[in-house]
Structure 1
Amino acid sequence: MKHTENIAVIDIGSNTLRILIGNIKANKINKLYTDRVVTRLGKNLIENGVISEKAIDSSIIVLKKFKKLFEKFNVSCIIAVGTSVLREAKNSVYFCEKVKESTGLHVHIISGEEEAYYTLHGVIDEELKEEDSVFITDVGGGSTEWIHYSRKNFKMGSMPIGALKIKERFLNTVSYSEEEIYSAKNFIKEEIKTSLPQVKINKFIATGGTASTLGMINLGLLKYLPEKIHMSEIHVIEVKQILKKLLSISLEERKKIKGMPSNRADIICPGLLILKEIADYLNVEKLTISENGIMEGIMKNYKKFCYNSKL
């Protein structure tokens, strides 16, 4: 087995399907290709309990497009993982069977704790290993993973709140009322209080779609440029200012904000509310945005999935 074999990781999330193709060289990931497509698998999941046929079909179309890349990049190891939407949907087995039948891909449904574990491995590098106390959070569509890392010791967990879930439960309108915002904030605060440890930290890192979108808005990017967003910093007071503005305008106005991907304009406020409340709970002044996360963590641990190795 060559150490430079190409690996493909697909992350099937509540809001987005993502792909990373790369290889491992000198214990570091060499990225060859990345892409993300919004499919909203988790849409109306709270209300219906199942993934819709429309979302399943659109996701399979995307997965077929991803599959065409495997030959182009000479991929020898393919790993597809499903997160909160597939943990919760009543028809997740049906979805996985349909994906297998249509694309040949086997989907691994991972737990919230596993999701946090691989996120930690994706974010932590040699430099961060020296930090005394790091808190990492990934605000997804259906869940929010958290990790507290301190000198090689870590605690982690998963909260059943995400940008898409908060949108559908509290902020499912084109313009938000004060009452809707207040209800969403209180719900998020209560979940954080019961789920997160109270710890002193010296670095707060956010990863995932909400963090990436925040980075794009903060830097005023007209298109997604992960190399510019990665490890960029923003003060929490600036996050609050951005959030306050976004909450006060309509969906169409949010779409016109510089750096705002139009397909995330309806879920950016719920996602930022979660991120902001976590920052307040931890009493931090700034956050660092990482473009590495679960996919990079899985790629680093690819032998577990493809060769059943115990790493």
Structure 2
Amino acid sequence: MRKRVAVMDLGTNTFHLLIVEGLANDLKELRHDHVAVKLGEGGINKGLIQPAAFERGLNTMKSFQQYIEYYGVKEVKAIATSAMRSAANGKDFMDQVKAETGIQIETINGDSEASYIFYGVKASDILGDATSLILDIGGGSIEFIIANHTKIFWKQSFEIGAARLMDKFHQIDPIPVDCIKELHQYIDTILLDFYAAAQRFKIENLIGSSGAFETFAEIAERTKGNDFDLKKLKSYQFDSEDLISLTDSLIRSSHEQRLNNPCIIPVRIDMIVVASIVTRYLMQKLNINKICMSAYSLKEGVLAEMLG
């Protein structure tokens, strides 16, 4: 039986609404909204949702509820991740959303977040027999999942998302070389468990899950003069030299240059720098040259579960 469902992925930077109808293997997208709520702005490392961000989030949830009613959706799932689960007033936000919209937000831990991301990426048909590192660079956390198409070998979520790293290391623009070195050293101290897992399982390729990797893919294609429509893609294969060149260029760029780049959506204009640094560093550290992007992520993983 065909179902109509709505999934909300309420991230640190962006709130997504996806309304679909159909079966797990035959979906029709009715609506897909993403709103740059910037829930972590001004408070991500203080563990507090600031008043302006709180208001933006609440208004976005009210508009999402109107679409849910318009499409007559009965089955709704709203998932909140890093910023909301770590904010002292995260529960206040969820309570107010419930009171004003009827939407019950569910916070999930990093482990569940990584699982949903795996099932989302798996649905894009990008995973094969090879052992892959799935990397999801969010605003509040980064998920590391070592897997192939049949199973997860290892997964962990680290609270080192792009908004947190930007707040700590990217105060001057363009980002100084010293700050890049400090960022490398910082993530090395955090990622010890991941490095140990990477030695146990021979990682053959890296799959970037949506987010910054969508921007990398668009820049790569438009630089070659090609059209790029993310809606028509489930996945994208990078030329590793192109990716190194474009991440280099983003790391060296000024805020003004990024602002004037039509490939970079507003919410990523500054966070794309630390996302580029993390991606480049992991490619070098793990000696990985095969890189791709999955356009599917957490919300598609939640959908897969809802639609069986």
Name structure 2 gaps, 5 residues minimum: none
Q: Secondary structure at the match of 2:191?
A: helix
Q: TM-score, normalised by structure 1?
A: 0.89
Please give the residue correspondences for 1:228-243 in structure 2 after superposition, counting only pairs within 5 Å: 228-243=232-247
- 1:231/1:266 Cα in 2 relative to 1: closer, same or farther (>3 Å)? same
Q: Tell me which residue corresponds to 2:75.
A: 77
Change (3 A) 1:130 1:182: closer
Equivalent residue in structure 2 for 1:206, among 202, 208, 212: 208
SS in 1 for 2:31: strand
Contact 2:136 2:209 in 1 (8 A): yes
Kept in 2: contact 1:6–1:23 (CA 8 A) = yes
* From 256, 260, 264, the counterpart of 1:256: 260
CA distance in 1, matches of 2:24, 2:91: 38
Alignment of 1:110-189 (within 5 A): 110-125=108-123, 127-128=125-126, 130-150=128-148, 152-154=150-152, 155-189=154-188
Corresponding residue SS for 1:254: helix
Are residues 209 and 132 of structure 1, via their aligned partners in 2, closer, same or farther at CA, if it must alter by over 3 Å?
A: closer
Number of the residue aligned with 2:85: 87
Q: Is 1:58 aligned to residue 56 of structure 2?
A: yes
Structure 1 stretch 3-12 or stretch 171-180: which is displaced more? 171-180
- Contact preservation (8 Å) 1:113, 1:158: yes
Residue identity over aligned pairs, in percent, reads: 25
- 1:127 & 1:210 partners in 2: Cα distance? 20
Residue pair 1:136, 1:146 contacting (<8 A) in 2 also: yes
8 Å Cα contact 1:60/1:103 also seen in 2: no
Give the SS at the match of 1:201: coil
TM-aligned CA distance change 1:134 to 1:177, over 3 Å: closer
Maintained 8 Å contact 1:13/1:84: yes
* TM-aligned CA distance change 1:26 to 1:40, over 3 Å: closer
Q: Distance in 1 between the 2:79 and 2:221 partners?
A: 31
Alpha-carbon displacement from aligned partner over 1:168-203 (angstroms, at most 9, x marks no partner)? 000023322221122122222333343342132334
Please report the TM-score for the alignment, with normalisation by the length of structure 2.
0.90
For residues 117 and 256 of structure 1, the distance between their equivalents in structure 2, rounded to whole angstroms, comes to 36
Q: Secondary structure at the match of 2:88?
A: coil
SS in 1 for 2:155: strand
Q: Distance in 2 between matches of 1:253 and 1:193?
A: 35
SS at match of 2:264: coil
| Deviation of the 1:166 alpha carbon | 0.6
User: By how many angstroms is 1:274 displaced?
Assistant: 1.8
Q: Note closer, same or farther for the CA distance 1:149–1:185 as it changes in structure 2 (3 Å cut).
A: same
SS in 1 for 2:246: helix
**1:124 counterpart SS class:** helix
Quick one: distance in 1 between partners of 2:227 and 2:164?
26
1:256 deviates by: 1.8
Q: Structure 1 stretch 197-206 or stretch 216-225: which is displaced more?
A: 216-225
Distance (Å, rounded) in 1 between the aligned partners of 2:138 and 2:24: 30
Q: Shift of the alpha carbon at 1:238?
A: 2.3
- RMSD of aligned C-alpha atoms? 2.3
Question: Is 1:218 aligned with 2:217?
Answer: no
User: How far apart are 1:125 and its partner, in Å?
Assistant: 3.6
- Number of aligned residues: 302
Q: Within 1, Cα distance between the matches of 2:228 and 2:128?
A: 30
Q: Alpha carbons of 1:92 and 1:259: their partners in 2 closer, same or farther (altered >3 Å)?
A: same
| Correspondence for 1:308 | none
**Shift, 1:129, TM fit:** 5.5
Question: Displacement, 1:286?
Answer: 2.5
Residue by residue over 1:278-310, the C-alpha shift from the partner in whole angstroms, topping out at 9 and shown as x without a partner, is 32333211311111111011011127xxxxxxx
Distance 1:26 1:37 in 2: 25
Q: CA deviation at 1:224?
A: 8.0
Partner-residue secondary structure (3-state), 1:260 = coil
In the other structure, the counterpart of 1:307 is none
Stretches of structure 1 that go unaligned for 5 or more consecutive residues are 304-310
Match of 1:269 among 266, 273, 291: 273
